[in-house]
């Protein structure tokens, strides 16, 4: 499997830390020193499928294929438009990918990684040629805007990857889950309500930041070590590491522990905040736009998030 197209879409509306401080007890200094975030994008009406569809079309255009060529659409999201139909099916309709099989997955912020690994397997087993993998979120609709510990962290956005079946491209893959730690990052579903019971609870993101930090830093280091070993590569062989953009302290700590070098870890959390499953793809798009990536560069993609989940890939850059 090789990458042949990427695309991103973020809302136009920028919300700075200073603006956010008008709504909740916080400050630019407080947020930046603890997270590295300076601003984020929030939707003014675009839902998850809207952002996903735009990112998808941009990736398809880069790949120079038709939407009708796509055999598979996988959307990773924790903020779907509907319980049913899937966001993937909505995207299929929006872009005209009438020949694709479609489904959503939920692996939290590791979702794009899970989607890419799943696509690799399905391209092989079902003899597909092209797959579209999307990470898309409108996290602003599941945020408690009175909770300064969480509302300052997240933003809205989407990213998409078009991949083609190939023997080259992916050098190693790794996935992991630790369900016993799921309580450290939660968002409730609908309350249980029927003719026999009437429960009430909210559906906001709740997070134990200390525990998530411990998990994330260990997960990144472990994942990269396994990926390098499985690909028979050394740290010096890696051109860049593209981590999930959750917190600058997590990235700095992991960069130090891996010994790869902070300069190889791409960071854009300052502009977008944590966009969950969209973040790695958004970062890749920025790197491509800046001309940072050269053909056959070995790039590590590594994610961690709700579940708790983690995972990564090493790819040969092919665009």
Q: Quote the tokens at residue 198.
A: 């009437």
CA 102/CA 99 separation, integer angstroms: 10
Q: Quote the tokens at residue 29.
A: 């200094």
Closest CA to 288 of 1, 45, 8: 8
The active-site residue out of 102, 244, 247, 285 is 244
The active-site residue out of 109, 151, 161, 285 is 109
Note if 109 is an active site residue. Answer: yes
Note if 244 is an active site residue. Answer: yes
Helix (H) or strand (E) segment spanning residue 73: strand 72-76
Find all residues with CB under 8 Å of 84, minimum gap 6, and list them.
Answer: none
**Radius of gyration, alpha carbons of the chain:** 19
Q: Is the dihedral of CA 133, 266, 302, 41 positive or negative?
A: negative
Question: Cβ(276)–Cβ(141) under 8 Å?
Answer: no
Rounded to the nearest 10°, the torsion over CA 35, 280, 83, 186 is -30
CA 87/CA 64 separation, integer angstroms: 23
Note if 151 is an active site residue. Answer: no
CA 90/CA 112 separation, integer angstroms: 18
**Cis bond upstream, residue 42 (ω within 30):** no
C-alpha 104: how far from chain center: 13
User: Under DSSP, is residue 138 helix (H, G, I), strand (E, B) or coil?
Assistant: strand
Q: Is the dihedral of CA 138, 144, 145, 151 positive or negative?
A: negative
How many other CB atoms sit within 10 Å of the CB of residue 99? Answer: 14
The active-site residue out of 17, 223, 274, 285 is 274
In residues, how long is the chain?
A: 319
What positions carry a catalytic annotation? 109, 244, 274
């Amino acid at each position: 499997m090789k990458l042949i197209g990427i695309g991103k879409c973020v809302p136009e509306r920028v919300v700075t830390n200073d603006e956010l401080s008008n709504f909740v007890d916080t400050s630019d200094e407080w947020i930046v020193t603890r997270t590295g975030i300076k601003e984020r994008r929030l939707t003014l009406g675009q839902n998850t499928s809207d952002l996903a569809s735009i990112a998808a079309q941009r990736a398809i255009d880069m790949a120079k294929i038709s939407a009708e060529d796509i055999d598979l659409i996988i959307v990773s999201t924790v903020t779907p438009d509907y319980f049913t139909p899937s966001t993937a099916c909505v995207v299929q309709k929006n872009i005209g990918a009438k020949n694709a099989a479609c489904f959503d997955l939920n692996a939290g912020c590791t979702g794009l990684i899970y989607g890419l690994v799943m696509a690799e397997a399905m391209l092989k087993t079902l003899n597909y040629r092209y797959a579209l993998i999307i990470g898309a979120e409108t996290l602003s609709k599941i945020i408690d805007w009175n909770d300064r510990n969480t509302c300052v962290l997240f933003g809205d956005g989407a990213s998409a990857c078009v991949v083609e079946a190939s023997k080259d491209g992916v050098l190693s893959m790794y996935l992991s889950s630790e369900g016993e730690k799921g309580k450290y990052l939660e968002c409730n579903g609908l309350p249980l309500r029927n003719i026999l019971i009437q429960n009430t609870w909210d559906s906001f993101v709740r997070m134990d930041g200390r525990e998530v930090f411990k998990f994330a830093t260990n997960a990144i280091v472990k994942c990269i070590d396994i990926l390098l070993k499985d690909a028979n590569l050394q740290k010096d062989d890696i051109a860049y590491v593209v981590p999930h953009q959750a917190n600058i302290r997590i990235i700095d700590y992991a960069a130090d522990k891996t010994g790869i070098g902070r300069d190889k870890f791409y960071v854009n959390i300052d502009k977008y905040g944590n966009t969950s499953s969209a973040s790695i793809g958004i970062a890749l798009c920025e790197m491509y736009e800046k001309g940072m990536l050269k053909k056959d560069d070995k790039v590590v993609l590594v994610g961690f998030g709700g579940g708790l989940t983690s995972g990564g890939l090493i790819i040969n850059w092919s665009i």
